């Protein structure tokens, strides 16, 4: 297994943290940077055996992790049989699609079966990136959606303003063209009457109304009522109206 040069020991007085490229303080966002070493890629194959040695060269690597202790003892840094017996920060190779994609997870181990994921990195065609956290992804997607929705409402409002401006111009124009449009064409009207009359002649006569049920007496119409009935009804209406009884001269006058 090819290994990269190891940094000086931490107990050495000449140990310089800046020289070995210690990771930035916790909380530093490194999703905007990318690492790629064409010289290493041209010298070694990129597979599950050598990908961690390539990841060590990147600024994402934490030199205080458990994997580095295994490398110093000439043990493969991803050997789970040794990592499970240790506690602290470690890196694991979670997914592999050789030779294009490798996913490396940074996690904190508190026991053989107890680990807490921290960050995720991926090597895509030789370039190493830090994957954004899920909350940042949701925030970016929601912000982009709100931006497009706001832009759509602004565009719709501007078009509605143009439509309202055009309607106001049409309302302020002279009404002479409207009178010409609303003029009735006599010839067209006669033509429609002729068509309706021809259709009426072609239709069969209306069927007689159904008979009334037994015991039902239909109300008499005004024409069937006799003159005596009409006079009695008029007398009842007249007696019911106090204004008619009093007459115009007997109405109350309001000052």
Total-model pTM: 0.49
* Tokens found for residue 61: 């690597």
pLDDT tens for each residue of 47-83: 988 999 999 999 999 999 999 999 999 898 998 889 9
Q: Look at 198 and 55; give whichever has higher pLDDT.
A: 55
Q: Is 244 helix (H, G, I), strand (E, B) or coil?
A: helix
Cα–Cα distance, 133 to 49 (Å, whole number) = 27
DSSP 67-132: HHHHHHTT--TT-HHHHTT--EEEEEEEEEETTTEEEEEEEEESSSS-EEEEEEEEEETTEEEEPP
Q: What are phi and psi of 73, to 5 degrees?
A: -100, 15
Yes or no: say if 232 and 240 are a contact pair by the CB < 8 Å rule: no
**36, 54 Cβ separation under 8 angstroms:** no
Rounded percentage of the chain residues whose pLDDT exceeds 90: 25
Question: What is the number of other CB atoms lying within 10 angstroms of the CB of residue 26?
Answer: 7
Backbone φ, ψ for residue 57 (5° rounding):
-75, -15
Note the pLDDT tens digit of each residue in 91-119. 999 899 988 999 999 999 998 889 999 89
């Amino acid at each position: 297994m090819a290994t990269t040069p190891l940094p000086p020991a931490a107990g050495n007085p000449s140990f310089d943290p800046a020289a070995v490229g210690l990771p930035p303080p916790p909380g530093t966002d490194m999703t905007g940077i990318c690492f790629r070493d064409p010289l290493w890629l041209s010298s070694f194959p990129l597979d599950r055996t050598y990908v961690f040695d390539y990841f060590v060269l990147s600024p994402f690597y934490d030199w205080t992790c458990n994997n580095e202790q295994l490398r110093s003892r000439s043990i493969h840094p991803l050997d789970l049989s040794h990592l499970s017996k240790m506690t602290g920060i470690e890196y694991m190779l979670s997914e592999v699609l050789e030779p294009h994609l490798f996913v490396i997870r940074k996690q904190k181990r508190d026991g053989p079966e107890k680990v807490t994921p921290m960050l995720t990195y991926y090597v895509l065609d030789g370039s190493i990136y830090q994957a954004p956290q899920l909350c940042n992804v949701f925030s970016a997607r929601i912000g982009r959606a709100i931006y497009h929705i706001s832009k759509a409402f602004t565009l719709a409002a501007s078009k509605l303003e143009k439509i309202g401006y055009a309607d106001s111009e049409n309302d302020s124009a002279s009404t002479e063209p409207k009178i010409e449009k609303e003029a009735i064409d006599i010839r067209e009207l006669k033509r429609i009457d002729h068509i309706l009359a021809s259709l009426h002649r072609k239709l069969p006569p209306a069927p007689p109304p159904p008979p009334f049920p037994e015991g039902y007496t239909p109300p008499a119409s005004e024409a069937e009522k006799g003159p005596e009935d009409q006079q009695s009804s008029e007398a009842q209406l007249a007696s019911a109206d106090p204004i008619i009884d009093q007459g115009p001269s007997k109405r109350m006058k309001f000052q």
